[in-house]
Amino acid sequence: MTPSLHKLIEKLKTIKSYLNSQLKHYPDYEPLITRATEIIEHCNNKKISIKLASYSIDFLENFNKFTLKRYSLVEYLNFEVVNLNQNIEQVFARCDLLCLIYDSQLPISSLEKQLIEQANSRQIKQSLLILDNSLIEDNLINIINLDYLKNWLNNNYKQAINHFLVRLDANCNLQSSEELNQFYNFIDTLVQNEFDNYIDHTFHGLKVNIAEYFEQEKKTYCQKIHSQKANFCQGENPEKFKQKLNQTIQKLNKEQQQIFKILKQDVNQYKLELLNPFIYDSLMYQVQQAIEKSEILECQENNKTYLYLIIKNQQYSQRLPTYIINLCQQNLSYWFEQEWEKIHYLKPENNLPQFWQKTQQELEFINSSKIQTINFNLSSKPVFEINDFITISILEETSKTLLDYHYTQSTWFRLAVAMIVGLIIFLVTSKLFGFVIVIFQLINLFTAQNAKTIRIKQQTKELKRIVEGKYQFLVRHLCDRAGQILITTLDETSQQYQIELDAIASKADEQLNEVKQKINSYQDIINQLKQDQAEIEKLLL
């Protein structure tokens, strides 16, 4: 084995051993190991194919036996005897060197010329061994043939073909001579050059293969890193993308908190306006006006007289509690409608549906990260039903009063009898005493009636005062509860929005951590590939 070939094989074995040791870190080295194994096997089986071509097979075999003993690299040579009578393509198959043996006793044939021309056009190295028979028979034909051949070669293939003149002894055996030694040296040099070229070509090819392999592998993992960044981080580093996402979520949180703060301020402001008795169309003012304009109604219940406050209009009359309840229901329902309209359609800067849309637009940059963006609607429209907060029958019970007047039915009867007796006395006796009795009783009658009226007025005033206090409390209570419902609805919506944003942030963090781990693992592989490439290139020096 040539020293250079042995050195190449040892380097390949070292590289193969190193790659095997790195399989635990990078299993994809198998193709490179296989390639190194193939080159080692090819180097171990490398031979230079030399074809000896002539018309005389017997002579070629004798010549072959003689020459094999002379080459120092005979183990790397593969001699093959070729009969020129066979197909010319078979002559050139697997041929590194073509050695044409020409007998000078005969003129060079057209087939031999064609063989030389074909080998030259195929860039196959060739030599021409010219057998000189002058020792056997010195004749003119031999000299003429040799002169013609030399002139033909010099004119056509002076630089391409190495030709050697070899003498034969009387038994047609090769004679050791300087020319023959030159032929052997030529073969040795040619074989050595072929191996050097083979080693250089193989070594260069190996370096190219290794460089291409590592570049392709590094490129593959760089593309994977790029793909991870493109698919999940808009081409940015995960840390920068996460910072951008956090800033966006913080910004949206701040905006939604500001929006809900304004909406809740509107709720509280509207509630204050409803309760302000000095605003003409406020609920409190309307309730006060209704109480003030209400009239008294006497009703008999269980042999008792009760005073009720009623509201009269042109069509009908209704008790004050019913009127107030309807008035409150109407105003508070209108308030809910107004707030709902305000939330959805008024004030573009505080419009929740538009803010949802803005949120989607702000978070569009994370759609590529396969994270579902915020997706929900405002809570269902809240409703306010007074019946859910008060019992109307209890309100009606507390909105009436018992007539506090002490002239009972028996008192009125006795007064009537006394008047009749006095009248009879006056008519029968014509005495003033009977008339005095009548006048006295009439005075008592009118005094009682006036006292009742005064008492009713007093109780009506007191009832209105009591009812006004109760209804003021009722209005405040209902407005507070209505405001709480609206505030709660806004808080729940804000909380839902916050939950959605937190879920997005959490999911984004989870996926970004996965992306970051993948990118780091890919980068570790790239670093390992660079380290292994540097180590292998060092082994190739």
pLDDT in tens, 477-500: 999 999 999 999 888 888 888 888
Q: Angle between the 238-275 and 178-233 helix axes, to the nearest 10 degrees? A: 10
d(CA 400, CA 59): 149
| Average pLDDT taken over every residue of the chain | 78
Mapping DSSP onto H, E and C, the string for 353-394 reads: HHHHHHHHHHCHHHHHHCCCCCCCCCCCCCCCCHHHCCCHHH
Query: Cα 490 vs. chain centroid, distance in angstroms?
Result: 32
Give 81's DSSP letter: E
Q: Give pLDDT tens digits for 217-271.
A: 999 999 999 988 888 777 788 888 888 888 888 888 888 888 888 889 999 999 9
Interatomic CA distance for residues 404 and 394, integer angstroms: 21
Residue-level pLDDT at 71: 55
pLDDT > 50? residue 410: no
97-103 and 77-83 beta bridge pairing:
unpaired
Q: What are the sequence ranges of the domains in the chain?
A: 3-9+26-214, 236-485
pLDDT tens sequence across 8-63: 888 888 888 888 888 887 888 888 888 888 888 888 888 888 887 877 666 666 66
So what's the pLDDT on residue 438? Answer: 47
Q: What is the pLDDT of residues 166-199, one digit of tens each?
A: 665 555 555 566 666 777 777 777 777 877 888 8
Second-level CATH architecture of 3-9+26-214: 3-Layer(aba) Sandwich (3.40)
C-alpha to C-alpha distance for 98 and 80, rounded to whole angstroms: 10
> Where does 108-258 show beta strands of DSSP type E?
125-132, 162-167
Q: Which two tokens stand for residue 194?
A: 């072929």
